[in-house]
Amino acid sequence: MTPPDATTAAVYHAPGDLRLEELPLPPLAQGEMLIRVKACGLCPGEIMDWYMVRKAPLPLGHEPVGEVVDVTAGVAFRPGDRVSVHHHAPCLTCRQCARGDFVHCPTWRPRRLVPGGLATYAIVQPPAVASDVLRVPDGLSDDAATFVEPLACVVKSVRRAGVRAGDRVLVVGLGVMGLLHLLVLRAVARPGHLLAADRVPERLAHGARLADAVIDTSRATVEEGVARLADGGGAEVVIVCPGSVEALEAGRRAVAAGGTLAVFAPTPPDEVWPVPVHDLFFRETTVVPSYSAGPADMREAMRLLADGLPVESLITHRLPLHDVGRGYALVRAGGAALKVIVHP
């Protein structure tokens, strides 16, 4: 087919101002490739208006699965290949990359998917083509493959949390990312007792199928719930998924002495968490943030999906591109909506 010279894309301009726009596609530069987007997941991070406003106008979507349409000389992929594309990519040669701190590589931060994953077509730039585009196995559906990037973030989070076999682990927040944590913890970490906390009935029901016990925070605090389930003790690892001071403090109070609090989402920049350093010190609490994911995490996520990690059970809505605004409204509302996938 003749490569298109334009693409329809979802562009964020301001809270409540999401537009479908026709954007030009320039000719491919050396090392680039063009994909036709087949499916793209909606990320909960894209409803954090404080984070999005400073980037606006911004084409949305960073969980795409696409079919290669065109490539330049030297690219290892071919037209017809199905691929998962990471929208960021490290250089793999700098000091940060040598340490495995890929998200802090100067090459990593610029977007490498133009315009974005919520588009009919997109250009993948050379750094991503070279280091973080993965072929999708034949047996993996497009919808399941949209989980590669968010699942990679969870793989990194569980690794950084340092979960040991037999640990009591608590996941706070049972949106799609919290539920993915439960799936990954079961698949790779072998916790001794897996707990989950939320206040939304539908999400607690999902969590109850994956965890050993759930805590309904509309009826008891996280700390009270863990103490009841842990014979008065805490959890050796607590992973907090919501980006709020309230959730962080609730998680901190549930950590066992010598345990780890893993921070999976940011708070707005003007929010301050008044942490009692006295308690952190004498209880030897480790606080570990985990931001995004690198190439090794992407590959581990793809392996887990290829091995049958049951992520499609978390998909609650499938929508066409023209309905993307409703998709984000569902994500923002929470409740029964978990993973929303758009098919451009």
Domain map of the chain by residue range? Answer: 6-146+310-343, 152-289
CATH classification of 6-146+310-343, choosing from 1.10.3720.10, 3.40.800.20, 3.30.365.10, 3.90.180.10? 3.90.180.10
What is the distance between the alpha carbons of residues 197 and 108, in angstroms, rounded to a whole number? 33
Q: What pLDDT does 1 receive?
A: 66
What is the distance between the alpha carbons of residues 91 and 149, in angstroms, rounded to a whole number? 18
* DSSP letter (8 states) at residue 96: H
Which residue reads 């490539």 in tokens? 71
Which segments of the chain have a pLDDT < 70?
Answer: 1
SS3 state of residue 326: helix
Strand 82-85 and strand 6-14: the pairing is: unpaired
What is the distance between the alpha carbons of residues 303 and 298, in angstroms, rounded to a whole number? 9
Q: Is 22 within 8 Å of 8 (Cβ atoms)?
A: yes
Topology (CATH) of 152-289: Rossmann fold (3.40.50)
Cα atoms in the Cβ-side hemisphere of radius 13 Å centred on 236: 13
User: Which tokens sit at 322?
Assistant: 């023209």
What is the distance between the alpha carbons of residues 308 and 329, in angstroms, rounded to a whole number? 30
Cis amide prior to 27 (ω within 30 degrees): no
Q: What is the 3-state secondary structure (H, E, C) of 235-291?
A: EEEEEECCCCHHHHHHHHHCEEEEEEEEECCCCCCCCCCCCCHHHHHHHCCEEEECC
Q: Which helix H or strand E contains 298, and what residues bound it?
A: helix 295-306
Amino acid at 317: H
Cα atoms in the Cβ-side hemisphere of radius 13 Å centred on 98: 3
The full length of the chain comes to 344
CA torsion sign for 27, 82, 320, 314 is: negative
Rg (CA), the chain: 20
SS3 state of residue 150: helix
Q: Is 257 within 8 Å of 247 (Cβ atoms)?
A: no
CA distances from 272 to 130, 158, 177, 255 (A): 39, 25, 23, 20
Q: Which helix H or strand E contains 68, and what residues bound it?
A: strand 64-71
User: Which tokens sit at 29?
Assistant: 């530069």
SS3 state of residue 214: strand
The predicted model scores a pTM of: 0.96
